[in-house]
Amino acid sequence: PPPGRGEFHQSEKDFPHRPEGPWRFYQSEPAVEPTLQTGAKKVKEILDDIKNGTFHRAYLLYGPEAYLKQQYRNKLLDALVPEGDTMNFARFEGKGLDEGQIIDLAETVPFFADHRVILLENTGLFKAKADQLADYTAALPDYLVLIFVEEEADKRSRLYKGVPKAGLVIKN
């Protein structure tokens, strides 16, 4: 039988099925499944939105975990934007965006589609003063879906406070 928890092994003879070699730490208890974090209910809500085809008008995905943000962004885009539809999808990236241009585009009714999707990535709008967009999120049109993907978001900003009223805020 393998030694108890916390013991070190000096040779592979002590633990032959560990090919990594000597001096490996052995934990005798099985690994615990990772638990769902606080945002897990909201992540499940995104998956339910995709499954049911009913979408919120705004999504904010932010946090340091780039892989998770990309996964959920791509899942939302795959569900919302038919392949090759460039008329009802717009993508903005980087700082210094014109809020008026984003709002003007958002006011345009979708062309032969259910939704107009605007993806805003790494814009810094949640750390800067984005009053026009914050006011606009209070009354988003039913056909519009805004997807914000950010590294950081200031919870005190008006835009951050406006997004949950129209959709979901998910921190990973």
pLDDT in tens, 136-154: 999 999 999 999 999 999 9
Q: Using CA atoms, how far apart are residues 84 and 160, in angstroms rounded to an integer?
A: 31
Quote the CA–CA distance of 102 and 144 in Å, as a whole number: 12
Note the pLDDT tens digit of each residue in 45-91. 889 999 999 999 999 999 999 999 999 999 999 999 988 888 999 99
Of the candidates 61, 82, 83, the one whose C-alpha atom is nearest the C-alpha of residue 73 is: 61
Strands of 74-151 (E only): list them.
89-93, 116-121, 144-150
Q: What is the pTM of this model?
A: 0.75
Confidence of residue 128 (pLDDT cuts 50, 70, 90): confident
